[in-house]
Structure 1
């Protein structure tokens, strides 16, 4: 059992872990206890890599960071990177990650979704970063991840002008991979996780590292990673099975 503070609910499986944010009384706002719980989740997924499916509860993904805590934070807290460090850790998890978003994903909640590899949404999902209206900035990844995901002009509208993207618009700009009815969201996340899990785990891990590598690392990184994969028994078995099916 993971050492948790009861801010998330975890369903652990062979090839995936479902983590449900569960602070309904605070609209799943991300507080220090939830940060600690998600770090515990990361530690477990680093120890035994699996696909992560991250979702909310009661029609809310996460309405942001906990404002009561945020109001009391000072310079040292910002420099400690409380949320940014967690979201970066999630982004660097060995296996792919899926955010299944129903309802609002705002502020830190949006940045948590941006840190995942895939985003699925229901029609009532909304993505936005209203931090500037609270006298701060979206400093846990949105200022650079969002630009990479949707481009600079739209990122500026969201971050500087408070634009909130509804699900269909988020799909149109490919911020989300799929929009499904609310009651189909768990099944859609399972389907995507199952598609990912059909692939060789080490190939997934090295491909994810290659995608995150800086431009200067290519093509050498890819060559070395492929050299590792060429020597695996799984590569030989999978290619043999492919040739036998084809024959």
Structure 2
């Protein structure tokens, strides 16, 4: 249900379309291992199969404790630490804990019909520890509260205006992600890592 392919560009795909790509504990573990195993890739692309990127945790698994597993933080941390270019290619809607993957990526592109939401208030869970700060860094504190506290579903066009996503893609989001990674794939990995480090460096 988690497929990884490629070397310099590692594509990791969530493949459970009959369940809106909702994640089981085994799938979440597999995602962690796939991302951790891709640290040498020049670029990392995350996507899903079908019309939904991921609905987050499988509902039954969430009720059984999956919503509180440290694997979510392990996954987003591994994405955030990746030295190459990381791209979340949202083939459709992303919800709940799966938002952590998108927030941890360097770039987020989305199909036109995608929505982004994180219904922790409604479900009675806290968001994963690093997600609120990453969300606020992208859209500001008030809009982060719109998503996490007011439970708003943000359509792709509004998410683009907010800075929550970086581009809306009419065609194949994976091919669009490959195009975005072209220069990184052609460069020395150390050069790309150095530029990324400079971008994230705090001003003196």
* Alignment TM-score, normalising by the size of structure 1: 0.76
Q: Which position in structure 2 is the counterpart of 1:8?
A: 2
**For the Cα contact (< 8 Å) 1:111–1:140, is it kept in 2?**
no
CA RMSD of aligned residues (A): 1.9
CA displacement at 1:204 relative to structure 2: 1.4
Aligned residues: 204
Structure 1 pair 126/176, CA: closer, same or farther in 2 (3 Å)?
A: same
| Pair member with larger Rg | 1
CA displacement at 1:140 relative to structure 2: 4.8
**For the Cα contact (< 8 Å) 2:10–2:41, is it kept in 1?**
no
**For the Cα contact (< 8 Å) 1:87–1:140, is it kept in 2?**
no
Matched, 1:43 2:47: no
Q: Which position in structure 2 is the counterpart of 1:227?
A: none
**For the Cα contact (< 8 Å) 2:56–2:97, is it kept in 1?**
yes
Q: Aligned partners of 2:50, 2:160: CA distance in 1, in Å?
A: 22
1:32-51 per-position Cα deviation (integer Å, ceiling 9, x unaligned): 111221122123222x3331
* Helix, strand or coil at the partner of 1:45: coil
CA displacement at 1:211 relative to structure 2: 3.6
Higher RCO structure, 1 or 2 (CA under 8 Å, sep 6+): 2
Return 5+ residue gaps in structure 1 as ranges: 1-6, 220-247
Q: Aligned partners of 2:85, 2:5: CA distance in 1, in Å?
A: 17
Q: Which structure has greater strand proportion?
A: 2
Question: For residues 104-119 of structure 1, what are the structure 2 equivalents within 5 Å?
Answer: 104-119=93-108
Q: Aligned partners of 1:150, 1:199: CA distance in 2, in Å?
A: 31
Matched, 1:178 2:167: yes
* Alignment TM-score, normalising by the size of structure 2: 0.91
Q: Aligned partners of 1:139, 1:39: CA distance in 2, in Å?
A: 15
